[in-house]
């Protein structure tokens, strides 16, 4: 009984902070009880009380990021003469190629949608028939920890909710944020260049709805508690179908107040804290990851005091690592690494260097100069990539996102393409896999997929360049060919992951310390939580062989050391070790 009272008191506090002045005490209590019932939280079971600062992850965790139809089987490629549900094909691919090295999968929005490759959701409660059904989702969750998107900021202008909003009917009545052309929206932070307000005709006359991303993606109004209730029902549905991780999409924009920037507002953080309380009490082994593609300092705030997100995207890593490998200098990457606070127990960094979106440049602002960001964008265009821009407050255009397949982004350095594409690509992943945190690996990085120009032409969208759709039979043929780039990438990435998962020093919360080995060698030291294992991760980020003094790494002479990647013994008598262009070493003590 005491646990139930404490929990309801905590939820009431969240709700009072969010809806201060909007709901009475009676309404708040009724809403909190409704949310507890929706989530089916067992308030009688004291054992379900959440353990503070518990790490629900280990070095064995790796998350594959993929669309439900990144791999398809058409009737020309299977003996059944029918198109197979892509989710079944994905499950087959995971079982055949990933089971030994990758234990988690993020299936990007798999719901009916109208645009933005799934992020303009028409119906949150059903699986897109073109992909499969809930049984297919649940089947994947039986063998992989399943990460799902909660597209919480907006939904499709073609959804039933928005249709009902126009008709002033429920559910949907009052669900969407309205403003007027006379309101002061000059300070609103925008990730897009389209007009913020969309004029619509409703049963009550002309209105203007808020569209942070596009006019097909209309923002919810969380001042209406019915919107919160609807989202909590969706969370429960996803839990029932196997979800273990929730990605809160575009969460930074959730709460709006006219006259402000409408990003990272205090009530947005309070909504995250409320969802954390509900989810961890309903399913204590479930993880929340916030997707906040914003400058680094703002991004860090979504950890809260280990009471908001369990994990945050390490958005600054992709542009900084890309800049490092193109310029042959790790100065900025080292400086950023040294400034990053260790994630306290109960939280972790979600590391990635490629995803379904492009490489965001806003998280590099303040870390790279404007000239360096423009130089990075220029290099990507020379390598066949696209550059998406945004408007600043003074009306200027700035690069917002680099759209390019990662393997093409690393085909050369600032002087142009060279013969080190594969080595540079593997170096990037060796660096990322060893870092403090949990790695997220985009399926097209795992497969070494190159730029898809045909898809860009077909969709007219820059992001389509890195959203190729493989025919399964063609993919298998490539992966079976030992001379294929795709075979080499999959094989060597899998080897890195296989080594990573057995090293205690690669626990997401193990100690990390940045090494000072000059501009051309990037290094860091990891130590296991029990302080038994040490790993020195060093990478040559240039195309010149680097000679490294063992004394600069400071290996303890009483220990035996070995490079985990080559099994080469590093003995005390060696004065130097050589790193070939873009070679990495994971030097571990024997214990």
pLDDT in tens, the chain (591 residues): 567 788 999 999 999 999 998 899 999 999 999 999 999 998 876 555 688 789 999 999 999 999 999 999 987 555 555 578 999 999 999 999 999 999 999 999 999 999 999 999 999 999 999 999 999 999 999 999 999 999 999 999 999 999 999 999 999 999 999 999 999 999 999 888 889 999 999 999 999 999 999 999 999 999 999 999 999 999 999 999 999 999 999 999 999 999 999 999 999 999 999 999 999 999 999 999 999 988 888 999 999 999 999 999 999 999 999 999 999 999 999 999 999 999 999 999 999 999 999 999 988 988 999 999 999 999 999 999 999 887 666 777 888 899 999 999 999 999 999 999 999 999 999 999 999 999 999 999 999 999 999 999 999 999 999 999 999 999 999 999 999 999 999 999 999 999 999 999 999 999 999 999 999 999 999 999 999 999 999 999 999 999 999 888 888 776 789 999 999 999 877 888 999 999 999 999 987
Structure tokens at 577: 């070790």
pLDDT score for 82: 54
Radius of gyration of the chain, Cα coordinates, nearest whole angstrom? 24
Contact (Cβ atoms closer than 8 angstroms) between residue 353 and residue 428? yes
- Burial string for 305-320 (b: 16+ CB within 10 Å, else e) reads ebebbbbbbbbbbbbb
Which residues pair with residue 438 across a beta bridge?
Answer: 350
Structure tokens at 547: 């000679």
pLDDT score for 79: 53
| Cα–chain center distance at 296 | 14
Q: Is the pTM of this model over 0.85?
A: yes
Please report the domains of the chain, with CATH numbers, ordered by start residue. 511-589 (2.60.40.1180)
Contact (Cβ atoms closer than 8 angstroms) between residue 528 and residue 502? no
List phi, psi (to 5°) of 197. -100, 140
pLDDT score for 333: 98
Contact (Cβ atoms closer than 8 angstroms) between residue 445 and residue 340? no
pLDDT score for 325: 98
Angle at 34 between CA 29 and CA 35, to 5 degrees: 100
User: How is 529-544 classified by DSSP, letter by letter?
Assistant: TTS--EEEEEEE-SSS
Catalytically annotated residues: 249
User: Which conformational region is residue 472 in: left (phi greater than 0), alpha (psi within -120 to 50 degrees), or beta?
Assistant: alpha
Nearest to 387 by CA among 375, 370, 371, 395: 375
User: How is 5-73 classified by DSSP, letter by letter?
Assistant: HHHHHHHHHHHHHHSTTTS-HHHHHHHHHHHHHHHT--TT-GGGSPPTT-----TT--EEEE-TTSEEB
Cα distance between residue 188 and residue 179, in whole Å: 12
pLDDT score for 372: 95
Angle in degrees, 0-180, between the axes of helices 331-339 and 317-327, rounded to the nearest 10: 150
């Amino acid at each position: 009984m005491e646990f139930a009272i404490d929990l309801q008191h905590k939820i009431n506090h969240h709700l009072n902070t969010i809806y201060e002045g909007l709901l009475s005490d009676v309404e708040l209590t009724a809403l909190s009880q409704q949310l507890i019932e929706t989530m089916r939280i067992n308030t009688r079971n004291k054992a379900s009380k959440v353990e503070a600062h518990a790490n629900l992850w280990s070095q064995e965790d790796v998350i594959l990021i993929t669309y439900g139809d990144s791999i398809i089987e058409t009737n020309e490629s299977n003996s059944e003469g029918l198109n197979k549900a892509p989710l079944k094909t994905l499950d087959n691919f995971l079982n055949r190629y990933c089971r030994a090295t990758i234990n988690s999968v993020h299936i990007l929005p798999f719901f009916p949608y109208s645009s933005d490759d799934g992020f303009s959701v028409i119906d949150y409660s059903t699986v897109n028939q073109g992909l499969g059904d809930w049984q297919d989702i649940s089947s994947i969750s039986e063998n992989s920890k399943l990460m799902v998107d909660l597209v919480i900021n907006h939904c499709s202008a073609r959804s039933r909710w928005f249709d009902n909003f126009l008709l002033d009917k429920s559910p949907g009545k009052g669900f969407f944020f309205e403003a007027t052309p006379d309101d002061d929206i000059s300070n609103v932070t925008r990730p897009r260049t389209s007009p913020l307000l969309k004029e619509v005709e409703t049963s009550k006359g002309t209105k203007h709805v808020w569209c942070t991303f596009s006019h097909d993606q209309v923002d919810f109004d969380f001042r209406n508690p019915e919107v919160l209730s609807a989202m909590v029902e969706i969370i429960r549905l996803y839990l029932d179908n196997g979800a273990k991780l929730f990605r809160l999409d575009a969460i930074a924009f959730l709460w709006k107040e006219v006259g402000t920037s409408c990003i990272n507002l205090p009530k947005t953080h309070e909504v995250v804290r409320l969802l954390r309380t509900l989810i961890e009490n309903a399913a204590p082994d479930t993880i929340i990851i916030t997707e906040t593609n914003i400058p680094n300092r703002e991004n860090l705030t979504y950890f809260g005091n280990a009471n908001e997100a369990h994990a945050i995207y390490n958005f600054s890593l992709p542009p900084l690592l890309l800049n490092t490998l193109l310029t042959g200098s790790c100065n900025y990457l080292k400086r950023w690494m040294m400034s990053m606070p260790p994630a306290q127990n109960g939280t972790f960094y979600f590391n990635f260097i490629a995803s379904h979106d492009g490489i965001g440049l806003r998280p590099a602002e303040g870390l790279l100069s404007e000239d360096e960001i423009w130089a990075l964008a220029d290099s990507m265009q020379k390598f066949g990539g696209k550059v998406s821009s945004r408007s600043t407050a003074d009306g200027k255009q700035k690069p917002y996102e680099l759209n390019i397949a990662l393997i093409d982004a690393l085909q050369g350095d600032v002087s142009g393409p060279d013969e080190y594409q594969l080595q540079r690509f593997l170096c990037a992943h060796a660096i990322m896999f060893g870092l403090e945190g949990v790695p997220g690996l985009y399926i097209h990085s795992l497969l070494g997929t190159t730029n898809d120009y045909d898809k860009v032409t077909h969709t007219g969208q820059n992001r389509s360049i890195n959203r190729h759709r493989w025919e399964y039979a063609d993919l298998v043929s490539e992966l079976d060919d030992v001379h294929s780039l795709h075979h080499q990438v999959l094989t060597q990435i899998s080897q890195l992951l296989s080594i990573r998962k057995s090293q205690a020093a690669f626990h997401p919360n193990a100690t990390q310390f940045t090494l000072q080995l000059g501009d051309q060698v990037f290094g860091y030291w990891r130590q296991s939580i029990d302080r038994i294992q040490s790993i020195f991760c060093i990478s040559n980020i240039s195309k010149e062989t680097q000679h490294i003094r063992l004394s600069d790494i400071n290996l303890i002479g009483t220990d035996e050391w070995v490079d985990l990647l080559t099994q080469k013994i590093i003995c005390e008598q060696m004065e130097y070790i050589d790193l070939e262009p873009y070679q990495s070493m994971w030097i571990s003590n024997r214990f």
